[in-house]
Homo-oligomer: A and B are copies of this chain.
């Protein structure tokens, strides 16, 4: 009872007493060019409809060497930032009649490696990946396959695939400059995974702005080593213990900011009167927080869409996408988590 064996080209052909090729051609709109009579075409279409025929895409893909599928590898889909990217990719893929195979690498490089292999087995036509970022060795293997790949958000060290990322340096620079303009001088930052490009760029932007303003960076004030909430919490605890305490903190990720807020709160302090905070990434809730969060908003939708489109072009052209990095601008959205000193 379970499987009434879906109809196939063959079964349709058999019922009509014709050959599978004829059925295939009509159903693919090649009836005219192959001189299938209108009568036959009619019959085929009717029968297909009646039986609810759906072509087996496995067989089709095998034959055509085209799967119309792209892989999407994401460190954690439940992170709103990545979720937004995934959403946009899914929408774009649908528009182009592509399917997407999703893997959640759980922020672990080992899982990421495994995911890449799995997707290779499925012969996806292209790969979109937000790398965990610690290492990029395993991407070498992928490269040999000749399947296009586009990296999103974080570029792992030693990886020169085409990428789509936010303008991290610019964003961080804007944020830091803003803090400086507000009169802050002891500005700390809680960074993410230090080896990732996005982190490095943000750090660079931070340093650059500090330097331009002629204020020395106190190295004890740059803390953190992962993008997770816990790291934000620990980082902020450490910073609050420092003396003199920094007057402003720049958190390099949404989860980091969240953890930082938890630490501040736990200490009985308030933002921004006791300490100012700026985050990276925006989200709908930011507006309603106890201290509405000033943050460097990334355009997740653009990230998702642009990356899919670059990949799609590469797939269609048969060429790997241009190695160049595509930068999506960020915008500083000013809310109320930064205190102004005059």
Interface residues in chain A, defined as those with a beta carbon under 8 Å from any beta carbon in chain B: 1-4, 6, 52, 54-59, 61-62, 67, 69, 72, 76-80, 83-84, 86-88, 90-91, 94, 99-104, 106, 111, 114, 117-118, 120-123, 141, 144-146, 229, 258, 261-262, 265, 283-285, 287-290, 292, 318-320
Contact = CB atoms under 8 A, between A and B. Distances in A.
B144 A4 contact: yes
Given A58-B122, A99-B118, A289-B290, 19 more contacts: A1-B146, A2-B319, A3-B146, A4-B145, A52-B144, A54-B117, A54-B120, A54-B121, A56-B121, A58-B58, A58-B62, A76-B87, A78-B86, A78-B87, A79-B83, A94-B104, A99-B103, A100-B102, A258-B285
Contacts of A141: 52
B52 A56 contact: no
- 10 closest A-B pairs by beta carbon, nearest first, are A90-B104, A78-B87, A83-B83, A102-B102, A285-B285, A57-B121, A2-B146, A77-B87, A78-B84, A58-B62
Contacts of A118: 99
A320 B2 CA distance: 8
Contacts of A52: 141, 144
Given A1-B146, A77-B83, A103-B90, A57 B123 contact: yes
A116 to B, nearest CB: 11
A121 B67 CA distance: 12
B57 A59 contact: no
A320 B229 CA distance: 40
A273 to B, nearest CB: 15
A135 B88 CA distance: 25
A100 to B, nearest CB: 5
A46 B58 CA distance: 29
Contacts of A91: 104, 106
Nearest to A97: B118
The listed residue with most B CB atoms (<10 A of its CB), out of A144, A261, A287, is A287
The listed residue with most B CB atoms (<10 A of its CB), out of A56, A58, A117, A141, is A58
Contacts of A121: 54-57
The listed residue with most B CB atoms (<10 A of its CB), out of A78, A146, A229, is A78
Contacts of A55: 121
A123 B106 CA distance: 27
Contacts of A57: 121-123
